[in-house]
Amino acid sequence: MLTHAGCLLACLRDDFPHIPFPAHWDLPGGGAEPGETPLACGLRELHEEFGLRLPPGRLTGRAFAAWNDPGRQSWMFHGQLRPEEIAAIRFGDEGQEWRMMPVQEFIAHPRAVPHFRQRVRLILAEASADI
């Protein structure tokens, strides 16, 4: 989850019936390749999907139970984007569109990936508790 000025980077998933959550608002990410750490996976997916390269130290992560297999872990990373990074986004070939969506809009959106709505709320609550 990458944020700036009360918004987060979101993309509208493709509308294919064979993918989970077709035509839903999603966050950057994806599955790890063999031997890839969760952080390396997140950074690779960010580059593939949005053309952005962030240093690992800009992200903090948290593990959750995977939505489709509670026995496995899924990671969500949080970091801040700078205006020049947002301007440099080059959308890849997955998804219909991207936008910097107000966080509260994403959390309330009926077509946001359901488990991400809950996780965004939790991570932001934890982050504000640390301040």
Q: How do residues 25-48 score in pLDDT, each as one tens digit? A: 999 999 999 999 999 999 999 999
Cα–Cα distance between 65 and 80 in angstroms, integer? Answer: 24
Q: Find all residues with CB under 8 Å of 44, minimum gap 6, and list them.
A: 33, 36
**Is pLDDT above 80 for 79?**
yes
Cα–Cα distance between 130 and 123 in angstroms, integer? Answer: 11
pLDDT, the chain, mean: 94
Q: What is the pLDDT averaged over residues 82-96?
A: 96
Domain map (residue ranges) of the chain: 2-130
Q: Which CATH number fits domain 2-130: 3.90.79.10, 2.40.100.10, 3.40.50.11540, 2.40.40.20?
A: 3.90.79.10
Q: Taking the complete model, does pTM exceed 0.85, yes or no?
A: yes
CB 98, CB 11: distance < 8 Å: yes
Cα–Cα distance between 34 and 25 in angstroms, integer? Answer: 27
